[in-house]
Amino acid sequence: MNEYKIIEYKGKKIIFFVGKELFPADNSLKKLFSIIDEFNIEKSIIALPDLHFKIKNFVPSGMVIPLQSQFSYLLLGPNNDGIGGLRIRLNKRIINREEIEKIFYEIKKRVVLFRRKNEIVSSSEAEEILTNGIRDILSSFNFPNDQQKNFEDQGSYLINKDLFKELINFTKKRKPKTLPDFIPNTDLIDRAKKTLCVLDGTSHFIELYRLGKVYDYNHLKQFSIEENDLFFIVHAGGGDVSILLHRIFLEMRKSYELSDDMGRLAFEGIKVSSNFGFANRLFIYKTIRESIAKYLREFNAEIIFDAPHDFLEMKDSSFFIHRKGAIKLIPKKNWGEGNFGKFYILPTHPGGKAYIIWKNNNNPFSMNYMSHGAGRKIRKDLAIKKYDAIDAEKLIGEKIFLLRYGFDSIEGQHPESFKDENSFVETIKRFDLANISAELIPLASLKT
């Protein structure tokens, strides 16, 4: 493994798993110094290959930030934004373009972009999801219970009933100054009912891939991957529930501890957001399966991973790891209960390849964290100014079936605004961040 770069600042280390060819040409480094200025960092922070600055966030994407005794909403986006994968097996047959288009149009009809007019769960069902995550709904959706282990922390945090009631009452009475106008109220139950099975962000997507170049057939055999398998990738989060809780507690304090009442309430908010993010993606997986079933008779659908990348990870009651654009890859020898799965599918950009990645051995230097995607070379707002919409849509559409809700500016998704795939793969290998088993070829993308 080549030497990673370390910068020391005020006695703390910033460890960069980012080569010169992928280092962002913006003020990310300045931002990292400001994080150390503001917080009591535990030893070091980690910068991953997709490191890039988003103008709306205090923390650049591609960061792992550990704090002792404290957690902070400022170091996270709305909790439990994540990427999950659904494997589709068609009994040796190959899907055709017409079938892909029909399935994606059906998905677009059923998966709402931001908020629902018509609710798909009752108030009691919404409360059950907020307080238990996917624990009681996975099998009711006819996904085997053993697929729950493919969600990080099994997709479920048990919420203290008394604290949940307090949280409900607390949020109803408090409207954050920064709450967007498109969120009409601060009722958590109502927000949950309106934002299930929702693609809740302008960078979010549903994409379809097939197997491409294989680097190690033994790995794929171990994962039971077959030649004609298809892979749906879903990027979605916790909708209004996560945004609301994030804005409320972000405005109140810079950081929290579990030793006081407000800290405990803020942490329950983190867990509620986590539960809802897992459930939202599960509803989308179910909807994808139902959309396929409308056009294809024989197939099998399996949830193969669900990996949050904007996420608060608690190691014990006094050690919190803030992940911004970072997933946890569980090494082979540590697979077991509570881990999100045996591998992860890493996307790059619309129309770009994805990669099946996993960890064979522990990497103590990276703590087994990995980028959730290839990341941006050019900030989205700057890409929108730089590139032409027709050119961007043409470049993407030449490679895949591109279906859009028509909300976001496609210029921001121009392939040249993202980091180079080959350089990214070489960086992963150079720093031993992950093992790469195979390339996946994109077939279709549903974008905002």
Report phi then psi at 69, rounded to 5.
75, -10
Overall domain count for the chain: 1
Q: How many residues does the chain have?
A: 448
**Predicted pLDDT of residue 330:** 83
Separation CA 183–CA 294 (nearest Å) = 33
**Predicted pLDDT of residue 339:** 52
Instruction: Give the three-state DSSP class for 315.
Output: strand
Instruction: Give the three-state DSSP class for 204.
Output: coil
CB atoms within 10 A of CB 299: 16
Q: Where are the beta strands (DSSP E) in 329-399?
A: 344-346, 354-358, 369-371
CB atoms within 10 A of CB 197: 21
**444's tokens:** 């279709």
**Predicted pLDDT of residue 448:** 86
**Predicted pLDDT of residue 444:** 96
**309's tokens:** 């990348």
**76's tokens:** 């996270």
Low-confidence ranges of the chain (pLDDT < 50): 337-338
Where b means 16+ CB within 10 Å and e means fewer, 424-442 reads bbebbeebbbbbbbbbbeb
Q: Which residues lie closer than 8 Å to 97 by C-beta, 6 or more apart?
A: 401
Residues pairing with 67 in the sheet = 41, 320
**202's tokens:** 């302008």
pTM: 0.94
Nearest to 250 by CA among 130, 81, 77: 77
Residues pairing with 306 in the sheet = 84, 151
Separation CA 223–CA 225 (nearest Å) = 5
pLDDT digits (tens, 9 = 90+) for 232-249: 999 999 999 999 999 999
Position of tokens 């709450």?
Answer: 179
Residues pairing with 6 in the sheet = 15
Separation CA 160–CA 373 (nearest Å) = 34
Position of tokens 């957001």?
Answer: 273
pLDDT digits (tens, 9 = 90+) for 160-204: 899 999 999 999 999 999 999 999 999 999 999 999 999 988 889
* Structural domain that includes position 87: 5-447
Q: Which residues lie closer than 8 Å to 192 by C-beta, 6 or more apart?
A: 121, 126, 127, 129, 130, 240, 241, 276
414 contacts 387 by C-beta, under 8 angstroms: yes
Identify residue 440 by its one-letter amino acid code: L
**Predicted pLDDT of residue 336:** 55
**Predicted pLDDT of residue 43:** 87
Instruction: Give the three-state DSSP class for 301.
Output: strand
**Residue 297 sits in a domain of what CATH number?**
3.90.1860.10
Indicate the helix (H) or strand (E) that contains 439. strand 435-447
Where b means 16+ CB within 10 Å and e means fewer, 314-324 reads eeeeeebbbbb
425 contacts 445 by C-beta, under 8 angstroms: no
**Predicted pLDDT of residue 3:** 72
Instruction: Give the three-state DSSP class for 209.
Output: strand
49 contacts 212 by C-beta, under 8 angstroms: no
**334's tokens:** 């540590």
